[in-house]
Homo-oligomer: A and B are copies of this chain.
Amino acid sequence: MEQAMTLMEAYKKASYPLIGHGRRNVQVLKEALAQWDDEQDSDMYGKGELIENFEVRMARLLGKETAVFFPSGTMAQQIALRIWCDEKGIKKVGYHPLSHLEIHEKDGMKELHHLEPILLADEERPVLLKDLLGLKEDIACLLLELPQREIGGQLPEYAELEAMSAFCRERGIKLHLDGARLFEILPYYRKSAKEVCSLFDSVYISFYKGIGGIAGAVLAGERHFTEESKIWKRRHGGDLISLYPYIIAADYYMERRLPHMEKYYREAKELAELYNGCHAMKTIPEVPVSNMFHVHTTVKKEQLEPILIAIANETGIGLTQSVRDKGDEGSYFEVNHGDRYGLAPKESVIEAFRLLDRKLQR
């Protein structure tokens, strides 16, 4: 008997998968590397023009004194929080219950740094000023993830963000930005990276989300902070002899993708509207505030998957490669928006959504 096709297989086979920029394959690195002279020297343990020039440009872009390249955001952020906690002599940090540190890092912050999280807000909304006003414990640092990925990429209003920043400054709480998707929110806020970062004491950005690089991150802040972060980077085993494969890709794809963040945002809103027009589906946020959103449906995962497979096969449009189970409440999936959506013929997209709506109504 023939094995039924999985959603992942159908998505990969689809002529027009709609998520992100494209496949993560070796070509992504080859293309970026091709821009560089063969004789270009590697960075060496954080030194050398290749890494130092990039760090200077990142610091400038983010409006901070200095920036340090890290192999991962997991490493960069634990270190940022550790530095602020050591400085304050308090081992508590505030963040959202669905923060990356809380759910994706195997408790690295707790196991390696012995920091204690104070969970703010709830799983339906981002952290707001009222959560800070309600704080019953002293925290050394507050981490805000903008946008809050695990709740569909929601954002506080900018005035709310400014109020939280002012609150933290007044109370001597360090404010750290989990800006894994910082560039993706700038069109909604209508602010520069520098303006947003000016509200924070330290900033992390990632190079393989909206930018579409290979891996890697930058941590930015004042010199005393980033110098301290380099010591911890060495301790974590992140001060690699060569980080240039990631830096070269970060550099290359930033240049190509930063100018399109407005387009990704606009198209994400367009796509969300298509989902919201379908039976039993709604997006969170209803109107996206970045290039991402979540699609929730009362239809269960085991019913939704065959529908998405059929759509991929019949229209060539791949809507998602995986669906997450919400039990009796149905299911959901994440959409993040990049170069791919623009490559799909409009009529095929419209046809896919017509089919989706019809199949959901059955």
List chain A positions with a Cβ less than 8 A from chain B: 23-30, 33, 36-42, 44, 70-76, 78, 105-108, 111-113, 208, 214-215, 231-232, 234-246, 248
Contact = CB atoms under 8 A, between A and B. Distances in A.
A38 B24 contact: no
A25 B38 contact: yes
A26 B44 contact: no
A235 B105 contact: yes
Contacts of A241: 24, 208, 214-215
A76 B237 contact: yes
30 contacts: A24-B42, A24-B242, A25-B40, A26-B36, A27-B39, A28-B42, A29-B33, A30-B33, A70-B237, A71-B237, A72-B239, A73-B237, A74-B234, A74-B237, A76-B237, A78-B237, A106-B232, A107-B235, A108-B236, A111-B235, A112-B235, A112-B236, A208-B241, A208-B242, A214-B242, A214-B245, A215-B241, A237-B238, A245-B245, A245-B246
A74 B236 CA distance: 7
Most B C-beta atoms less than 10 A away, residue of A29, A41, A44: A29
Given A26-B244, A39-B27, A72 B237 contact: yes
B23 A27 contact: no
Contacts of A238: 71-72, 75, 236-238
Query: When A and B form their complex, which 5 residue pairs have the shortest distance between CB atoms, in order from nearest?
Result: A75-B237, A108-B235, A245-B245, A74-B237, A27-B38
Contacts of A215: 240-243
Contacts of A239: 72, 74
B39 A24 contact: no
A72 B234 CA distance: 10
Nearest to A241: B215
B30 A26 contact: no
Given A106-B235, A242-B214, A37 B26 contact: yes
A76 B240 CA distance: 12
Contacts of A237: 70-76, 78, 105, 108, 236, 238
B71 A42 contact: no
Contacts of A41: 23-25
Contacts of A36: 26
Contacts of A105: 234-235, 237
